[in-house]
Structure 1
Amino acid sequence: MNYETRMNLESGTGTTAGEDPLEAERKRAGKRRLFLFIAIGLIAILAAGYVWNAMAGEEEEAPPEQTAAVTVVSPGAGTIEGMISATGTLAARREIPVGVVGEGGRVVSVPVEEGQWVRAGQVLAVIDRSVQNRQLESAAAQIEVAQSDANLAQANLDRALQLVDRGFISQADVDRLTATRDAAVARVKVARASYGELQARNARLNIVAPAAGLLLTRNVEPGQVVSGGSGVLFMIARGGEMELMAEVGEQELSRLSVGVPATVVPVGTDKVFEGQVWQIAPTIDAQNRQGTARVALPYAPELRPGGFATATIRSGTVTAPMLPESAIQSDDGSSYVLVVDGENRVRRRPVKLGMVTDNGIAISSGLDGTERVIVRAGAFVKEGEEVRPIVAKEG
């Protein structure tokens, strides 16, 4: 077949003889669009492949996830001297209340003052005894009368005995005179007993110190009328000995024993007094779960009964691991620590706390001291997590 081709000089393309030029142009435009779509598709495929390869390369080159660093310590086990801090009220170790012993009366004088040292038997208050003195004088006169009657009865008996041998007096008369003499002697004894009783009553009118010590309170003044119902007039600290009634928690009280030393600092002064626990309360207060440890103290002007003071009581020594407070954590009322095992993973370990000292907290149970305990950064890790332990530097 022969085809005639005519060249379009303006478009630079050829057309087949007999073909419509517009139709041919449309076909050429459709081919160009097809080639454009194919090119865009190839470009998109190449771009996607590039991005995929780039992401895969980044994943392969990304470093592995780093483990958390924690500070650990192996506490070991050491001897710890226990110290218990407590507060309480100062008081006289042995208080002696003094009141009216006799029948009482009007107070004439009070020759002592609070804070004064008194000796045993010293007069603290004098009560008027003008009436009692008259009674005593009367009793003394009764003794003289009774003694005179006894002397006369004895003389009559002596004369009668001289006349018996001569037969002038019968034996019956002698017996009667003897009985008279005996009755007169008995009346003398009764009079003397009455006189002694009055003397004792008069002596009891004076209020005296039953023992030596420091006079703490004086509740009577001259001119006051006192009796057996007047209550306590004086309070004496026997020997001037003082004590601190230290309030100690139930758990700490169980660690104390009689004789352990203690230091006491009264409020308002920085002076330290040495004492020792001499008595531990056998009961615990049901309200505050505390008991009383009584610390004996020697006399000092700074130790004023009724004052407030703090005490540091030595409660013996224990051997236990010691951890800083930052290593102890708690939840639901129980304490625990985080330890790092042989695979560098965090494990929770329940513990029981012991003494609290300036150097840390003793662990009474739960640790043997060889574990690696997390002391810092424990709040940022969880059980089972792998960590990188760093041993804490001493000091």
Structure 2
Amino acid sequence: MALPKSRIPVKLIFLCLAVLLLIGTTACKSDYPASGKAATSDPKAQPRQVKTVKVAEVPIGETVVVNGNLAAFDHTTVGMKVPGRLQTISVDLGSVVHKGQVIAQLEPQDYKLRVQQAEAALAQARARLGLSPDGADDRVSTEETGTVRQAKAVLEDAKLKRDRAAKLVQQGITPRAEYDTVDSEYKVAQSRYQDALEEIRNRQGLLAQRRSELALAKQQLADTIVYAPMEGVVQEKKASVGEYLAAGAPVVDMVRIDPLRLRVDVPERESHNIKNGQSVRVTVEGDPDSYLGYIKRLSPTITEQNRMLSVEADVRNNGRLRPGAFVKAEIVTNQTASAVTVPPNAIITFAGIDKVIIIEGGKALEKAVTLGRRGSDWVEIKAGVNVGQAVVVDPGNLQSGQAVTEN
């Protein structure tokens, strides 16, 4: 006879499962505190090493902070003085150029021929005055020239004849008509002598003109070469080799970028604090460094449209600043002012609250602070900490109450 199959009640199964879950939960609860207690009481846990700086009172000066622009100190367009075809150009965009450096040159052959032509004309003018063709001294005595000497000799001879005829007439030896003839010859000789003097003066004037023409031809030949008028950088190249350029045609634009001009507008309410010679700290977005400048030029008037004072400062350029850059400028108006400061990397800002972490009793302690002015490497603390207290820099995820040791 078959035995009936045993059946386990469903309620009993659920009851067993509930008991097992309860046992497991109890075991977990009893294990967590023990583990946590062991973690907090582990004698091997080391305090976190941190780097600190002392809160210090330093002279930072009172400043006026404005935005502005950098501009080239000088700008010039270099062009040709004489017309011609461009033979060479030795610079391009961004080329650093030194004062007196050759920038470009025209084809010089036509101007060399003009020099030779002027030299020949000068030699001819010198020869007409009895001077050597290749001499440099154009001085000449008018009375010593051949033309004048000849005319003077004729004049002196005519004068002797007239004087002799006058005596003979007085003695009654020679008729008056013969004297009149000799006197007319004397007057003609005198006129020719004056003409000879005038001719020599004209030749001297022509010689001076030929000398000037030669100097001009040589200058035009020299002007076929263009030199840099200042130290600077090529901003734009405006001509190409082979191009025919008229007189005055631009070849390159140059800018002088060291120092640079800082141009800012200061509000009227701050303008009375601005003076020549004050220092300016300049910062550019994306550049961690700051640059020093000094105010050199102030506008004599306040602009009526925006009630601003135009100010210019000279800023030394190490090659990283560029004309046209937008900058922030801090004009130091009072060098003797001081402030309590910490480095910027000591400030923690969370939910709009500024804090620093100090060390007390070997533990980190957060302190809320009130901030003031900012510099490139400092932040003013108006309240919250005292001078001499140590604050943690680069605290990262350091928590208040955590054990620390100064590195």
| TM-score scaled by length of structure 2 | 0.51
User: What CA distance in whole angstroms lies between the structure 1 residues aligned with 2:82 and 2:250?
Assistant: 13
Residue deviations 1:310-342 (CA, integer Å, cap 9, x gap): 2222122799xx9xxxxxxxxxxxxxxxxxxxx
Aligned to 1:293: 311
Aligned to 1:193: 212
Of structures 1 and 2, the one scoring higher in RCO (CA 8 A, sep 6+) is: 2
Structure 1 residues 316 and 181: alpha-carbon distance in aligned structure 2, compared to 1, 3 A threshold:
same
Aligned to 2:96: 116
Aligned to 1:158: 149
Alpha-carbon deviation of 1:256?
A: 1.6
Q: Secondary structure of the equivalent of 1:126?
A: strand
User: How many residues are matched?
Assistant: 252
Aligned to 1:252: 270
Match of 2:279 among 245, 255, 261: 261
Which residues of structure 2 form unaligned runs of 5+? 1-58, 132-141, 162-185, 341-371, 388-407
Structure 1 residues 317 and 197: alpha-carbon distance in aligned structure 2, compared to 1, 3 A threshold:
closer
User: What CA distance in whole angstroms lies between the structure 2 residues aligned with 1:297 and 1:318?
Assistant: 22
Residue deviations 1:172-218 (CA, integer Å, cap 9, x gap): 443333332222222111211222223333333433333x3223424
Q: Which amino acid aligns with 2:81?
A: G
Q: Which amino acid aligns with 1:204?
A: D
Match of 2:242 among 205, 223, 233: 223
Alpha-carbon deviation of 1:161?
A: 4.4
Structure 1 residues 247 and 224: alpha-carbon distance in aligned structure 2, compared to 1, 3 A threshold:
farther
Aligned to 2:326: 308
User: What CA distance in whole angstroms lies between the structure 1 residues aligned with 2:251 and 2:333?
Assistant: 39
Aligned to 1:132: 111
Structure 1 residues 228 and 147: alpha-carbon distance in aligned structure 2, compared to 1, 3 A threshold:
closer
Structure 1 residues 232 and 290: alpha-carbon distance in aligned structure 2, compared to 1, 3 A threshold:
farther
Aligned to 2:76: 97
Q: Which amino acid aligns with 2:88?
A: S
User: What CA distance in whole angstroms lies between the structure 2 residues aligned with 1:251 and 1:226?
Assistant: 53
User: What CA distance in whole angstroms lies between the structure 2 residues aligned with 1:236 and 1:393?
Assistant: 50
Structure 1 residues 228 and 145: alpha-carbon distance in aligned structure 2, compared to 1, 3 A threshold:
closer
Aligned to 1:237: 256
User: What CA distance in whole angstroms lies between the structure 2 residues aligned with 1:112 and 1:80?
Assistant: 45
Aligned to 2:127: 148
User: What CA distance in whole angstroms lies between the structure 2 residues aligned with 1:124 and 1:134?
Assistant: 24
CA contact under 8 A between 1:278 and 1:295: conserved in structure 2? yes
CA contact under 8 A between 2:89 and 2:241: conserved in structure 1? yes
Aligned to 2:178: none
CA contact under 8 A between 2:295 and 2:313: conserved in structure 1? yes
- Is the counterpart of residue 273 in structure 1 residue 264 in structure 2? no
Q: Secondary structure of the equivalent of 2:90?
A: coil
Aligned to 1:44: none
Of 254-263 and 223-232, deviating more is 223-232
Alpha-carbon deviation of 1:84?
A: 2.2
- Is the counterpart of residue 207 in structure 1 residue 226 in structure 2? yes
Alpha-carbon deviation of 1:277?
A: 1.3
| TM-score scaled by length of structure 1 | 0.53
User: What CA distance in whole angstroms lies between the structure 2 residues aligned with 1:223 and 1:289?
Assistant: 52
Which residues of structure 1 form unaligned runs of 5+? 1-78, 323-354, 362-374, 376-391
Percent sequence identity is 19
Alpha-carbon deviation of 1:144?
A: 1.7
Q: Which amino acid aligns with 2:107?
A: D
RMSD: 3.9
